[in-house]
């Protein structure tokens, strides 16, 4: 029987999910796309405890799949349940919470499957300061960083950084590379921006030293294999110190130095991640600075523009005889 592999994503996600599904089909597996934001309106599930049996099923697109048939899960993206306009607003919050509870139970029921990545590991890797600390322990250079809602501490940190400071949010406001309206990208912070004590006190983002750039790298790790691409910083980008909203950028083949690659893979092991999309800066003086790794980060542009076989690597990882890395599920 063909291995059943769940692809957890959302309704607006395309391309990379299709690539991985095609790679799984070529390997004789059965991919099953699950748009988490289409629950509970467009698909159904059942979880039972009767006698000594723990039964369960998913019903999508008119077909019913037993949970015991699921051998692997790709956690591409998780978005909250969507209830549409039919529900009475007085009960919306409670119904959404009920949906969250049953989805948490579903992820728990699937804990024996092979996950890329495990839910608990994704949640823990999302703690950016912990991530940076582990990266430093692994021997990677990381930027000087402060997270604080103390306005005086933020201003003092800014004054200590001779090359300037950038600010970034730890929360993704919109999925995908281009984000959406209201998305906040890494931004250069001037002294004049730090005069509003109330704003600084209410929302403590990450403040980091600004790193000079010769090129920026996106590095994809899949079960110890690395796939890299680089872009050159664009002149005239203003105070946005982030390549994601910039148009017309061309990705070029790239490679981390062997020692840096080994340290990065050590970090992946410390985080318990089988997949990660990392950002590095290669400085004009030939240093390599680790910024972050996203356990569900984007990689489609590297396969599309450079032909890197990332979908194949993910399919192999999902079908590999790998350790189970799914523990208690976070909320979605």
C-alpha 73/C-alpha 84 separation (Å) is: 27
**Do 11 and 154 have their domain in common?**
no
Least confident of 39-53, 137-151, 253-267: 39-53
Instruction: Provide the percentage of residues in the chain whose pLDDT is more than 90.
Output: 72
**Do 80 and 219 have their domain in common?**
no
Is the pLDDT at 325 greater than 90, yes or no?
no
**Do 198 and 256 have their domain in common?**
no
**Do 236 and 277 have their domain in common?**
yes
Quick one: pLDDT at residue 181? 47
Mean pLDDT of 247-255: 87
Give the end of a domain, one of 62, 91, 112: 112
Quick one: pLDDT at residue 240? 64
pTM: 0.89
Which residues are paired to 197 by β-bridges?
none
Q: In degrees rounded to 5, what are phi and psi of residue 82?
A: -125, 130
| Number of independent structural domains in the chain | 3
In the sheet with 63-66, reading across from the earlier edge strand, the strands are 43-47, 56-60, 63-66
294 inside domain: yes
**Do 97 and 28 have their domain in common?**
yes
pLDDT band at 322, cuts 50/70/90?
A: very low
**Do 260 and 131 have their domain in common?**
yes
Task: State which residues form the domain around 17.
Answer: 4-112
Quick one: pLDDT at residue 61? 86
Asked if 31 and 5 count as a contact pair (C-beta separation under 8 A), the reply is yes
Kindly report, residue by residue over 159-209, the tens digit of the pLDDT: 999 999 999 887 765 555 554 445 677 888 888 888 887 877 888 889 999
Q: Is 276 left (phi over 0), alpha (psi -120 to 50) or beta?
A: beta
Say which residue, 184 or 263, is predicted with more confidence. Answer: 263
**Do 126 and 179 have their domain in common?**
no
**Do 177 and 28 have their domain in common?**
no
**Do 138 and 240 have their domain in common?**
yes
CA-nearest of 326, 262, 307, 276 to 115 is 326
48 inside domain: yes
């Amino acid at each position: 029987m063909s291995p059943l592999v769940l692809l957890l994503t959302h309704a607006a996600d395309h391309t990379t999910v299709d690539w991985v599904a095609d790679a799984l089909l070529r390997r004789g597996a059965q991919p099953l796309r699950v748009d988490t934001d289409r629950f509970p309106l467009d698909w159904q599930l059942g979880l039972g405890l009767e006698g000594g049996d723990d039964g369960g099923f998913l019903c999508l697109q008119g077909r019913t799949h037993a949970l015991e048939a699921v051998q692997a899960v790709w956690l591409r993206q998780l978005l909250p349940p969507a209830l549409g306009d039919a529900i009475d607003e007085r009960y919306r919050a409670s119904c959404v919470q009920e949906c969250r509870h049953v989805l948490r139970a579903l992820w728990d029921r699937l804990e024996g499957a092979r996950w890329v990545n495990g839910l608990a590991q994704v949640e823990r890797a999302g703690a950016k300061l912990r991530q940076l600390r582990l990266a430093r322990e692994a021997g990677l250079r990381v930027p000087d960083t402060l997270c604080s809602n103390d306005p005086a501490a933020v201003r003092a940190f800014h004054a200590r950084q001779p090359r300037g400071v950038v600010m970034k949010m730890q929360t993704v406001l919109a999925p995908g590379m281009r984000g959406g309206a209201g998305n906040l990208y890494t931004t250069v912070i001037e002294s004049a921006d730090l005069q509003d004590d109330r704003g600084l006190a209410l929302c403590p983002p990450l403040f980091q030293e600004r790193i000079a750039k010769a090129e920026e790298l996106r590095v994809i790790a899949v079960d110890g294999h690395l796939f890299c691409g680089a872009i050159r910083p664009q002149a005239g980008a203003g105070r946005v110190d982030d390549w994601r909203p910039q148009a017309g950028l061309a990705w070029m083949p790239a490679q981390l130095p062997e020692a840096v690659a080994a340290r990065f893979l050590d970090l992946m092991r410390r985080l318990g991640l089988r997949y990660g999309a990392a950002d590095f800066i290669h400085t004009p003086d030939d240093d390599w600075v680790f910024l972050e790794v996203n356990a569900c980060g984007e990689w489609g542009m590297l396969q599309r523009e450079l032909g890197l076989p990332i979908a194949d690597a993910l399919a192999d990882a999902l079908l590999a005889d790998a350790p189970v890395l799914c523990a208690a599920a976070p909320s979605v």
